[in-house]
Structure 1
Amino acid sequence: MTEEKFKSEVETLKKFFPIYCNDKHTGQFIKKYNVNYKNLELNFEINLCEECHNLFSYAIERLTECPNNPKPRCRKCPNPCYEKEKYKQMAKMMRYAGMKLGLTKAAKKFKNLFKKSGNS
């Protein structure tokens, strides 16, 4: 996978995990991550609970070691690398956060539509 694709995948995880964790868990704390992939070095902090930090670390590890090029969606991968239970946890988190992001975007568009029509 290209460095750009890797960075994009990490950015998606960084966006989805806090949405899920903040809504479902308590006891969040900030943890620093230093992720190296090929010639790319990513340094960032993320605020999650212990359980989500563990799953996030696991997801980054799996992503770093993904042998596929191009990388398929994990659910369509011919050789899945996630342990079954971790895969179920990730799917649950991604589904929840994805829906919430989608609904948030739709709500913003809806509000903007009324702001524009109210100004006419």
Structure 2
Amino acid sequence: MMISISEEDAQLERDEVKLLLDRRVDALVLASAQTPACKDLFRATEEHKVPYVLIDRKIAGLKANYVGVNDATVGQIATEHLIACGPLLAHIGGPKIGSAIGRMEGYRRASRPSISIDGSFVVYFC
């Protein structure tokens, strides 16, 4: 088993996948940076006939094996639970990360008229 981390850097992700393919790995398990160039990267992976599975993050327009959750539903369930625990809520996520976008959608869906989303409690990183 080999592990590589790209820190949401699309170029580093491409370089790391190329390195792994050059080392003739049997398969790849990836939580991709989700950039538009990723589709080409995974098509190249398919040309090498190396199986891969995406975890946590789907890539729009790419038919691939995927293991993950419905992020909007998870965000909604978590927010509903936190509302029941107390009135102050915050959301921390990345504006370009698919799983964080879905969870923010769930956060918004769970908000009730009596609990408005305070923009100062929504924090984005990356």
TM-score, normalising length from structure 1? 0.28
Higher helix share: 1
Q: Which has the larger radius of gyration?
A: 2
With a CA cutoff of 8 Å and minimum separation of 6, indicate the structure with the bigger relative contact order.
1
TM-score, normalising length from structure 2? 0.27
